[in-house]
Amino acid sequence: MNNMMQYKDYFGSIHYSDDDKIFYGQVEYIRSLISFEGEDVASLRASFEETIDDYLAFCKEKGIEREKMN
């Protein structure tokens, strides 16, 4: 898959805004809107992984089932 990252069975899209000079994306193939951003590839990757880890921790804390790829 082009323009995608994968971490813990989740995929994140990769986009770039030339106006804002920032990379951004969202977790794909689930209903929830989970987004992330970074100033370079390394910070985008770190933001994506942190976002997934935070989402999984939130689900566990609240006792709700995490969304999986459709």
Q: Is 68 within a domain?
A: no
Q: Is 27 within a domain?
A: yes
* d(C-alpha 39, C-alpha 16), whole Å: 10
Q: What is the mean pLDDT of the chain?
A: 93
Q: Is 51 within a domain?
A: yes
Q: Is the pLDDT of residue 62 over 80?
A: yes
Q: Is the pLDDT of residue 70 over 70?
A: no
* d(C-alpha 12, C-alpha 1), whole Å: 11
pTM: 0.89
Domain total in the chain = 1
Mean pLDDT of 62-68: 91
| Structural domain boundaries enclosing 35 | 4-62
Q: Is 70 within a domain?
A: no
The type of residue at 69 is M
pLDDT tens, position by position, 31-61: 999 999 999 999 999 999 999 999 999 999 9
Q: Is 43 within a domain?
A: yes
Q: Is 46 within a domain?
A: yes
Among candidate residues 16, 15, 25, the one with its CA nearest the CA of residue 49: 25
